[in-house]
Structure 1
Amino acid sequence: MSAVWFQSLKRVKSDATFLDLVETLEAELEQGTGVDATDPQGRTALELLMAKPAPSALAVRWLLDRGADPSSCADVRWQIGDLYPEATDSSAELLNKQYRAAPYLMLLAADEARHGVEEGVADSGHYADKFAAALATRRRIDALKSGCHDLCCGFRAHSQPLLHPWQSHWGGLPWLPQASLPAPLAADPRLVLAVQINFDELIQGELPHPLPSHGLLQIYVTQPDEDLGEEPGGEPVALFWPEVPADAAAWRVLPERRLTALSLKVTDQGRALSWRPYRKLPEAEEQLAKAMERLPTELRPRQRDLEQERASYDFGLLPRLYGYEREMLPEGHQPLLHMMHTEHGGSLFSLPTSALAGNATDWQQLTHTYYYD
């Protein structure tokens, strides 16, 4: 076993670091180190690389070209599954996923070349085709949107680390001013923080929307007693501060106001939410048809792709609802936030259309609709 070989491989964190170390690795092979040599823990070079959070595609390709045995690694289909294209992915996100999936697809293809493909199991070509098709579909959808005017805006929710109290988040610890509790909270100890939205986090200007340009919104709901079989319900309480605090010195944390009900839990509870803007295709079929006619035939999305695109507008801030969820929306209301719960059902927060008016929004008219799916 060559210590230099494995020490160099451990330093490979990216394609760039691999290129810095490739001459050293070439020299080790020339001096007799086996490409499938194992370290004291029994791991080959490929296993060391594939165990990294983001394996270097160039390094994996280099090892496979020099005869490394792909069967020394565990099945990588679950890593590919984590990177599987989704209808909500932008072109940039799809390209990122495609590149991150490349090392796993290389390994899978090399293993198939040696041992064949198990019947009934998706092969590397299937996954590669899915990535290519998703990117082509996204580019066609984007081309269609570019031919439409005055498109509505929405914001998709993505999780990220929770680093400070003012980030947007579902559930979690509520922070409130050191002064006495707001009257609605003082009157009802069962009110807990459902969601906090920091409007300063939204990208402003590029896509117009009816949300405030700044400020902090906290929405409190009644914590159901699930031991007694209670279900979520009751009127929400919305607290809004026009300015996000500069620091927490004048605020205090209230752990007793934390949401714990399983019926209201979401997948990313306890993590911060980031809001990624997107443009929605027009609802009017006539407007959509005219935009389609202006596109070259090869750039026109298929009907199935249009349906998947529209279905992706269901959740997040300023969603567009379809089917059953749309029936849950109170008449004359604009959906503000729609979140899916991990157990079943979802929560829909909405306002009368006239009440959702940017920095002048009347938060006292906010409604919470909890439903089963």
Structure 2
Amino acid sequence: MTITHGDEFMPKPLVCVVGARPNFMKIAPIFRQFNSVKHLISPYLVHTGQHYDQSMKDTFFQQLGIPEPDRDLGVGSGTHAVQTANVMLGFEPVLDDIKPFAVLVVGDVNSTIACGLVAVKKQIPLIHVEAGLRSYDKTMPEEINRILTDQISDLLFTTERSAVHNLKQEGIQEERICFAGNVMIDSLLANCQKAESLAAISEKYQLRFGLEERTFALLTLHRPSNVDDIDTLQRLIYTVIRISEDLPVIFPVHPRTQQKIVQAGLNNLLENAKVLLLPPVGYLEMLGLLRGAKVVLTDSGGLQEESTALGVPCITLRENTERPVTVDEGTNTVVGTDPEKILTSFMDVMVTGGKSGRIPEYWDGQAAQRIVDEIVRRYF
């Protein structure tokens, strides 16, 4: 039932949470879809500030068409415990003020579990978008966040069939689960035509050589397991330098990764190789680089999905993935951090073109519509 005031129906507030860069691409298509039910739902956007680079946040919000947050908690960085606690402290007064009919969280960052805990302890229904993904590696903080958020959620939206199976195995009732598809792909398909051209990116960053389609590899590294351990980081960087002898590598560097590279004394080696170091780039720039790359080397979950959607071969520099559909149906190959396995997979791309894959079920740009339709069905 909608709330009424006099003879007029008033839309019910739904608090939606974003905390870090991966969340932005997931919330954008959902917010666009809310426009079709604005007579029922009044979305209230909370940005926790877990992603604390203000300029990058602004860039992503502008490029993705996300409205300015109704509330910015500004929690910033910190240990997992400090960050989670600060989000919880800042989020509770928001719920007291807004009194939403539900809280919607996306992904698996600290803000996801922190806001989820506050909501359920106040007996407010919790909706989790991108539920059920499992790496089965509990050394990953995100895995803990995923498992706990799913256990306390009332409505769980999944991106792939394997996630539905995972949730059922963990005792989640089937009626709480809805296979809706991948909102990341909604964002990708909506913005493909707006992606930065390779020529514009090359000019913007004054790259040493011009970019052309399929003449470079795209690299991202940010996971603590890869960048915090100096031996692992050295092994990966030396392998990247070896790859750059056959194919130039473009490397937008996460600030934390940059710090670890400098500490390990690897900066000069990279700068003297055919590795083009860029600062963190916006969504439309990353989309342009991804679309133009011959191969992607990454430890990012999102890039595994986006490369599959675009048909670009992906080499995942982790021992596991929580997105198995990208391996089973897509372009992704999981190789870990062993140089021989990385180089073997890379040479396969160079010789054969790598995995071609196919687009997984419901990665069709309509996931947000299915999500909003189900929210309306459940709560109105």
Q: TM-score, normalised by structure 2?
A: 0.32
Which structure's residues are more often helix, by fraction?
Answer: 2
Q: TM-score, normalised by structure 1?
A: 0.32
